[in-house]
Structure 1
Amino acid sequence: MRPTSYDTLTPLQRAFALFAIAIGGFGIGSSEFVSMGILPDIARSLLPEQMAANPEHAIAQAGWAVSAYAFGVVVGAPTVSLLGVKIARPKLIMLLALGLLVGSVLSATMPVFGLLVPARFLAGLPHGAFFGVAALLAADVMGPGNQGRGIALALMGLTVANLVGVPLLTAFGQQLGWRTAYWIVAGVFALSILLLFLAIPPQEAPKGRSAKDELAAFKQPRMWMVIVIECVGFTSFFAMYGYIADVTVSVAGIDKHLIPVILALAGAGMTLGNWIAGHLTDWSYRASLFIVLPIFIVMFIVLIALRENPVGFGIGVFLVSATSSITSPLMQAWLMTNAGKSVTLAAASHHGAFNVANSLGVMFGGFVLSAGLGFSSVLSLAGGLALFGMVVTFAGLWIDRDGVHDINALNEESEDQTFGVSILRTETGEMLAIAAGAGGESVALEADDSYLESHHRKE
């Protein structure tokens, strides 16, 4: 029987509700990254003539399926969030899960590559908004004093997706056909809708919020600066990860059936990196960026140097994935210090900006392959992009040197530091949470009045 109130949820019902939310996160994480693992299979199936004539060019063309999903996230993150501002959260999250289900079904059924690309774009539209609503609902489910724990547990779906989901789906896609991977993801979203309906109590539609209020964030010039830096300065990881399946086989000399193992190493690196990021974000995002980005360059040098050694390549992928995933929450914190009161839309913008970087990284890698430079050159390109990203980020930090240098400087104290999640109070009186997902995603949200009251904060 569906619960009717958040106040009367039993521990078992709370766990069930968080599990329902996490299933959706698992589906999203799997949907976003599995395309990279099955890219060669998509190219062989839908671009057979190009694959026979020039495999590298065909793989580069297939990369548009990855870019299309990322562009869908970019477009959908702010627009869907704004369109859903007046819809009750339980209803909204089920509608978003339905959209993700439809996108996955379309991706699995498109007969030609020209139709798969728009299908992947549609699949990405609900992505960013789902994360924001999921975090808010997780906070509601756990109640005052435990909201950070709820957000972190709900986002565990992303961790499981990168550690288990993507490698397994890649293996299924290799053995049973790439369409199988998308069908399984569609099944996950169907299960998510059912569980969300059974587990999440109903709510009234939010009051006192409007799209106009959220759009006020875009009046902040330095917020735009951070967004642009995220878009153009963090393409390196995606240039490498977008073609990881082919780089694994063609450069490292690893059997294609072991691609899931490399993906699992990348997922493990992302998970470790996000755990570290939670602590660094609370310490100082600015100082952390000055430390982490040079280390990121060194990790790429290690990967490039060891690229032809199977064991060394796996170690390099783990290290690059770990250091890359640290940067997203740090950039999220920097964005929040320049967003004013519109933290919800700023969070969606952060997620959209990193997906612009995703699209550009895959696109740049495609240009290298189309030029006939080979998959090994993709790693060199990614290393160069990492260096460029460090330069533009340091330049931005210098421009913003008179701004807020520490996310905790906005707050009397940091609360609920659980699983790398911090809930902070800004100087405007708003509450926000920063939580890192396994794929580098971060979620920021405004806390409700009950949370404020439970901590007896002075206005």
Structure 2
Amino acid sequence: MHQRAYEGQCAFAENRHGVVRSPKLTLFALALGTFAIGTGEFGSNGIIQLTASDLDVPLPVATYAITAYAAGVIIGSPAITLLAARVNRRTLLLSLIVLFLAGNGLSALAPNLTLLVVFRFVAGSVQGAFFGAGAVVAAYVYGPGRSGKAFATVMGGLTIATIIGSPLGTVIGQNAGWRAMYWAVVAIGALAGLTLVAWLPRTGDLRGSSIRDELGALRRVNVWLMVAVAALGISSIFAVYTFIGPFVTDAARRDASLIPVALAVFGLGMAAGNHLGGRIADRSEHSGLIGGYGGTLALLVPIGVAGSNLAVLFLCLFGVGAAMMFAIPTVQVRLTGFAPDAPALMGALNLAALNLANSLGAIGGAITLDAGRGALATVWAGFVLTSAGLLLYLLTIVRRATPASELSFSRHQVLSQ
């Protein structure tokens, strides 16, 4: 019954007039929304020093604002998704974009760090819920059997934000002040809101589900195993991305002006991997995740060994971004497969896992730096974490296959007797 309910949500895009009038524009509106969200998230990292200086707080204390955003994704997004379980996905997305505008607008006006932390939590609480509901709408537009591509489309805005939005936001902050960066995010978010109003389908097919169904999904062991696989495995991308600056200046001994170039190379890899990962996730149950994690592990080694060579570093940065993003759509498809009656909540949990990975990767990298092993050593922390994620996933495959194998063996025994 649950599977039929999910397939109904993901059926070909029909509304009360027959079909979605502008499927491509609907997908563009969703991607523009995630682009705005990604620009606000990653742009905050680029202006953190300016924020600390203006609010007269030490830099480590100013990072509480970034931590608060991640907490909003991890805690706030699943909570909002549960509370809004019965709400039509169109209505939910429009409400979330309003909350996003409020969170970022208030961030721009924050007179002190305490209020900035509160407002960044509010802004972060939108992210996972928006991605989850957006993935449901995208799957509805694409049709059955293409949920991986649907999630990749929604994620596409976030990957583009790492290439364009974050560097542009940093430049705006450097030239017009950190508050101007948040106003720019508000402007992009307002534009996204207008496109959502215009192009999201109006249909009862996008109605929500019961809170009981959503909560029931949280009682499934496979869901939490998949969240752990994502949080551990994806952490290596942040053990690299967080420390790209030191890679360029300290390890490769190049000018800081190359840091935005390195970030853009990494972002291009993410965009490429996300596009391909969306396709493979719909065709193969395990290949995207195993291939993505395995490819990442293979590419972390040359960074750790020869990353001081700029050509090696840039090539591997592109590769790590591509390999890891190749895996992420499969994570979403697997989560939704374990809880087909709660696709929006699974999207929120996926984004929560990504933010847990962000923390794990940054903490692991910081530990290796504190040990005095040099900037490139951060990749080994990522290597260990992704290896643990891959091993856990392989064990879950064995765990799910074992009952069927034992059943076949028992039947064979009966027949042979």
Q: TM-score range by the shorter chain?
A: 0.7 to 0.9
Q: Is the aligned partner of 1:381 residue 2:378?
A: yes
- Change in CA separation of 1:340 and 1:6 when aligned onto 2, cut-off 3 Å: closer
The counterpart of 1:20, out of the listed 7, 29, 53, is 29
List aligned pairs for 1:27-426, cutoff 5 A: 27-46=36-55, 50=58, 58=59, 60-140=60-140, 155-204=155-204, 209-339=209-339, 341-366=341-366, 371=370, 373=372, 376-377=374-375, 379-403=376-400
Unaligned runs of 5+ in 1: 51-57, 406-459
- Change in CA separation of 1:335 and 1:193 when aligned onto 2, cut-off 3 Å: closer
The aligned counterpart of 2:17 is: 7
In structure 1, C-alpha distance between the alignment counterparts of 2:210 and 2:305, rounded to whole Å: 52
Q: Contact 2:72–2:121 (CA<8 Å) still a contact in 1? A: yes
Deviation (angstroms), 1:265: 0.8
Q: Contact 1:67–1:363 (CA<8 Å) still a contact in 2? A: no
SS of the residue corresponding to residue 403 of structure 1 reads helix
Q: Contact 1:104–1:183 (CA<8 Å) still a contact in 2? A: yes
TM-score by length of 2: 0.79
The aligned counterpart of 2:410 is: none
In structure 2, C-alpha distance between the alignment counterparts of 1:83 and 1:264, rounded to whole Å: 37
In structure 2, C-alpha distance between the alignment counterparts of 1:144 and 1:286, rounded to whole Å: 19
Q: Contact 1:36–1:245 (CA<8 Å) still a contact in 2? A: no
Q: Contact 2:85–2:209 (CA<8 Å) still a contact in 1? A: yes
SS of the residue corresponding to residue 171 of structure 1 reads helix
Deviation (angstroms), 1:82: 1.4
Q: Which amino acid aligns with 1:26?
A: F
Deviation (angstroms), 1:124: 0.6
Deviation (angstroms), 1:344: 3.4
In structure 1, C-alpha distance between the alignment counterparts of 2:140 and 2:283, rounded to whole Å: 27
- Change in CA separation of 1:91 and 1:165 when aligned onto 2, cut-off 3 Å: same
Q: Contact 1:40–1:245 (CA<8 Å) still a contact in 2? A: no
Q: Contact 2:146–2:282 (CA<8 Å) still a contact in 1? A: no
Cα displacement string for residues 146-181 of structure 1 (whole angstroms, at most 9, x for unaligned residues): 988776655543343233222222232333333322
Cα displacement string for residues 10-57 of structure 1 (whole angstroms, at most 9, x for unaligned residues): 85x444444333321210121222223334444444456x4xxxxxxx
Q: Which amino acid aligns with 1:37?
A: G
SS of the residue corresponding to residue 160 of structure 2 reads helix
Unaligned runs of 5+ in 2: 1-14, 403-417
Q: Contact 2:70–2:121 (CA<8 Å) still a contact in 1? A: yes
TM-score by length of 1: 0.73
Deviation (angstroms), 1:362: 2.7
Identity of aligned residues (%): 33
Between the two proteins, the alignment pairs up a number of residues equal to 389
More helix by share: 2
The aligned counterpart of 1:448 is: none
Q: Which amino acid aligns with 2:181?
A: A
- Change in CA separation of 1:107 and 1:205 when aligned onto 2, cut-off 3 Å: farther
In structure 1, C-alpha distance between the alignment counterparts of 2:237 and 2:312, rounded to whole Å: 18
Q: Which amino acid aligns with 1:398?
A: L
Q: Contact 1:31–1:185 (CA<8 Å) still a contact in 2? A: yes
